[in-house]
Amino acid sequence: MSWHPQYRSSKFRHVYGKAASKEKCYDCVPITHNVHDNHFCAVNPHFIAVVTECAGGGAFLVIPIHQTGKLDPHYPKICGHKGNVLDIKWNPFNDFVIASCSEDATVKIWDIPKHLLTRNITSPKKELLGHVRRVCLIEWHPTANNILFSSGYDYKIMIWNLDTKEDVISNPVKILEAHKDVVLSMSFNTDGSLLATACRDRKIRLIDPRPGTVLQEASYKSHRVNKVLFLGNVKKLFSTGTSRWNNRQIALWDQNDLSVPLLEEDLDGSSGLLFPFYDSDTHMLYVVGKGDGNIRYYEISSEKPYLNYLMEYRSHLPQKGVGIMPKRGLEVSACEIFRFYKLIPTKSLIEPISMIVPRRSESFQEDIYPLTTGTQPALTAQEWLNGVNKGPLLVSLRPGSGAVSSITQFLEPEPLMKTTDLSQHQGWGERMPLEDMQKTSEIKDSRKQLKVEEKLLKKEQMRLSNGFDIFECPPPKTENELLQMFYRQQEEIRRLRELVNQRDVQIKQLELELRNLCVDTGSY
């Protein structure tokens, strides 16, 4: 069972779900009644988009994320589709661009104005025409800019390059024709070099999207798959579906061997679909049930039993769909590690649910907020089409910290090279480009700052004896004074830990900048 062993140590053992108050929900939202098995909701730090119920074509709403409370019934819509909208996805590298697909067999790209909407938007930025039947799924590439995947009821997956001037694109750069039925789910690995799909023929396929070759195919008969998710940084796949006895079931697969699952487990006898979500930063997996109010969450490990059950969030209000906030939009001061936006059509309500790690300290928690995916693409569309693979560019969630570029893909840190050897790395010439000279000077400046901070820390430690300043106050003589000194000592330890954490973050940033500098210069 996934909850065994009983006494496994984990910092996420006591994570709990907290529903937002009524004032922070989105009320009077006409949520769609479409029975298609999609999320119907997309969220980024600026907007929440939700597919709505409307007559005469398809439409969706784009609401500013802070505009909570009751929605104006005449609030403007994005309504350029002639059929029901089936899926919407925000561009991961531009919070003001959203893609939508519809039963009218088109995919449309929309520019959302930065100010409040004052009228309906009917003209898209781009229109993608290629499918001959309704389009049910769209996915943006995780690291390459302006690469979009779409899948329809014509059993085809089309790859689109949006880096063109044409407003109407009718020729995709690649068509994947590996499926014999409708594709139910698509998921990328960390660098977007592999695509996992779940098909209505109950098979999981692992595809190299550029040549279009099927690398592996799973046809395990006792698990009928509905949704598949790439756990890219642990080289595993997770799928939800049903068993032979129509119980809701989850399964974990080895990326390199899809013949038999590593683990499969029946959850319950409900009929609703299970939506999986994975947080690669915390290695936590969330399973959301459609038609019920439950959110189960697990922790993924590289060793058996692989899937460790943590807890379950329960609610009496059933969800039709759900959206998730990217990590950069979370409230780190409250130790929030994940946020769902739950669609409740029976009450025309969107309810945010925050997953929180209980911590007393109000300082930034470095252990639960590692470097995460940022808003800068690692590749251009043409670079990816030419065969280049790069991991996502990472940023720190620490308030006030800048972006940190990285091409590492959750690998072990490599030994750092000395700065004096940089000019000899990968056949570097005698002359160093101006851009790289600026980078190396920035690294030197940050190293100097780090040394200054270390000296200050040493001086401060020299003045401290058992947690208090020996020059300011003598040792305690009474029990009351001893308690006061103890509390002062605890506070001093906490402050020193924060200084050490800041130094560790700077060291990581320097390592990443140095590694990126070496890789970038090696490409000249």
Cβ atoms of residues 310 and 298 within 8 Å: yes
* Residue 476 confidence (pLDDT): 66
* Residue 450 confidence (pLDDT): 55
Residue 489 pLDDT greater than 60, yes or no? yes
Cβ neighbors of 475 (< 8 A, separation 6 or more) are none
* Residue 269 confidence (pLDDT): 83
- Among 228-237, 409-418, 485-494, the range with the most confident prediction by mean pLDDT is 228-237
Q: Which of 73-82, 201-210, 458-467 has the lowest mean pLDDT?
A: 458-467
* Residue 425 confidence (pLDDT): 38
Q: Which of 88-92, 201-205, 383-387, 430-434 has the lowest mean pLDDT?
A: 430-434
pLDDT in tens, 391-449: 999 999 988 775 544 333 333 333 333 333 333 333 333 334 434 444 455 555 555 55
Overall average pLDDT of the 475-495 stretch: 75
491: confidence class by pLDDT, cuts 50, 70, 90: confident
> What is the DSSP secondary-structure string of 480-513?
HHHHHHHHHHHHHHHHHHHHHHHHHHHHHHHHHH
Cβ atoms of residues 110 and 85 within 8 Å: no
The per-residue b/e assignment along 428-464, b for 16 or more CB within 10 angstroms, e otherwise, is: beeeeeeebeebbeebeeeeeebeeeeeeeeeeeeee
> What is the DSSP secondary-structure string of 386-424?
TT---PPPEE--STT--B------SPPPPPPPPGGGGGG
Kindly give the interhelix angle for 434-463 and 479-522, rounded to the nearest 10 degrees: 170
Length of the chain, in residues = 524
Tokens representing 484 are 């006061």
- The pTM for the full model equals 0.75
Overall average pLDDT of the 320-345 stretch: 94
Cα separation, 370 vs 283, in Å, equals 11
Please name the residue that has the structure tokens 């560019």: 393
4: confidence class by pLDDT, cuts 50, 70, 90: very low
